């Protein structure tokens, strides 16, 4: 092995480790690195202590259109666009490196406001691929001026985002309701 090939392999392994630590699925690792499937599985098991999850990657744009995922996807995509234009990575694997930088900033932003991340790294990667293939676009909200993820070729006139006009059940999950209204304690019965 030449020094150049060793350095290239170390870069691939480093990228794979970073992606695994951020929660990447095996299919993403296979698409973005030149490492063999067997090697990726061994690396995943070594880092996570378990086999990678099985199953197909998300393949529908509809998930990104639901209320909360749309807000988080739009936030991530805005960060991604900014980094890609002003501070994106150069050279080989620049797209995945820009996705990783953007995803780390997304996680920091969500944690700053005490929220749980809705978007996984695999979903973020899929989102970028949907934009690159022309399946998704952004629409500008007529009220707040924010740019939100939308299906390609959706009508743009009069678009109002999910933040300005949330659906009637928005934020009314069982978990949110439970945190606002803790269950009452049952009275103790004296013996």
List residues forming the annotated binding site for Zn(2+): 141, 144, 161, 164
Q: Residues marked as binding?
A: 141, 144, 161, 164
d(CA 137, CA 65): 11
d(CA 181, CA 184): 9
d(CA 73, CA 182): 31
d(CA 135, CA 124): 14
d(CA 61, CA 136): 8
Burial per residue of 154-188, b for 16 or more beta-carbon CB atoms within 10 angstroms, e otherwise: eeeeebebbbeeeeeeeeeeeeeeeeeeeeeeeee
d(CA 33, CA 96): 10
């Amino acid at each position: 092995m030449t020094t150049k090939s060793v350095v290239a392999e170390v870069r691939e392994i480093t990228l794979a480790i970073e992606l695994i630590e951020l929660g990447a699925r095996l299919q993403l690792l296979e698409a973005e690195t030149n490492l063999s499937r067997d090697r990726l599985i061994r690396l995943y098991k070594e880092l996570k202590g378990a086999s990678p999850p099985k199953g197909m990657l998300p393949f529908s744009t509809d998930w990104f259109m639901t209320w909360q995922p749309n807000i988080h996807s739009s936030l991530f995509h805005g960060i991604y666009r900014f980094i890609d234009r002003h501070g994106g990575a150069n050279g080989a694997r620049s797209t995945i490196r820009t996705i990783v930088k953007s995803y780390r900033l997304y996680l920091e932003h969500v944690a700053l406001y005490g929220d749980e991340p809705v978007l996984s790294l695999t979903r973020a990667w899929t989102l970028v691929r949907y934009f690159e293939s022309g399946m998704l676009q952004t629409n500008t909200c007529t009220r707040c001026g924010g740019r939100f993820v939308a299906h390609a070729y959706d009508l743009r006139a009069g678009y109002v985002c999910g933040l300005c006009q949330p659906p009637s059940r928005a934020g009314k999950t069982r978990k949110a309701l439970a945190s606002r209204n803790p269950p009452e304690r049952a009275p103790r019965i004296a013996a």
